């Protein structure tokens, strides 16, 4: 008889597989503290190490339980490493977003200082670049795409935004993000 736990089929007599799955899944989705994912990785290593010790201490080294535990531990570690790679690649994308937001915030803060000192709001990215003395690379997001500018007006309020096209490099898609220049 199989039970369904956290979208996986787990034999009811092997609860550590279920706990390992939850630990790994939690580390990926962020629904569970990431320390549990690290704990799950360590648990998999401990299971594998215990199985190797049990297997080596069995006369003749042919313990069926030891072999089964080694297989389970190895599979568990393989999943932990695979999901860990996904987490690392996801974090890389998050780091690129944060780096771009930091760059946009720095540009916006410098422009806000100039606007507060009585200068006009720039009308183009070239105006921002020349006014602040920025290099061409300072005007790119973390993916190497040029930052752009967008004007939004609502009744009496006009807002100037720095815009990154995001990872795909295309404007007007779901991965775009912006930062206001004028307060």
Note the pTM of the prediction, 2 decimals.
0.50
How would residue 168 be classed by pLDDT, with cut points 50, 70 and 90? Answer: confident
Residue 112 has pLDDT above 70, yes or no: yes
Q: Could you give the CA distance from residue 33 to residue 152 in angstroms, rounded to a whole number? A: 39
Q: Could you give the CA distance from residue 40 to residue 26 in angstroms, rounded to a whole number? A: 10
Q: Is residue 150 within 8 Å of residue 164, measured between CB atoms?
A: no
- Look at residue 13 in the predicted model and tell me its pLDDT: 44
Q: 123 — phi, psi (to 5°)? A: -105, -5
How would residue 174 be classed by pLDDT, with cut points 50, 70 and 90? Answer: confident
Give per-residue pLDDT as tens, 126-165.
989 998 899 999 999 988 999 999 888 877 778 888 999 8
Residue boundaries of the structural domains of the chain: 3-93, 99-180
Residues 6+ apart with CB under 8 A from 86: 28
- Look at residue 140 in the predicted model and tell me its pLDDT: 92
């Amino acid at each position: 008889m199989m039970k369904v736990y956290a979208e996986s089929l787990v034999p009811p007599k092997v609860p550590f597989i279920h706990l390992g799955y939850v630990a790994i899944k939690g580390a990926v989705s962020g629904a569970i503290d990431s320390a549990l994912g690290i704990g799950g990785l360590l648990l998999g290593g401990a299971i594998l190490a215990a199985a190797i010790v049990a297997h080596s201490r069995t006369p003749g080294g042919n313990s069926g339980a030891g072999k089964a535990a080694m297989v389970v531990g190895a599979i568990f570690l393989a999943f932990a490493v695979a999901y860990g790679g996904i987490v690392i690649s996801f974090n890389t994308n998050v780091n690129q977003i944060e780096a771009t937001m930091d760059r946009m915030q720095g540009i916006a803060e410098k422009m806000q200082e100039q606007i507060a000192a009585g200068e006009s709001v720039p009308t183009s990215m070239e105006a921002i670049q020349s006014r602040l003395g920025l290099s061409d690379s300072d005007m790119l997001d973390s993916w190497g795409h040029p930052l752009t500018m967008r004007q939004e007006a609502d009744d009496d309020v006009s807002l100037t935004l720095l815009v990154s096209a995001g990872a795909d490099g295309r404007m007007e898609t779901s991965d775009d993000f912006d930062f206001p220049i004028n307060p």
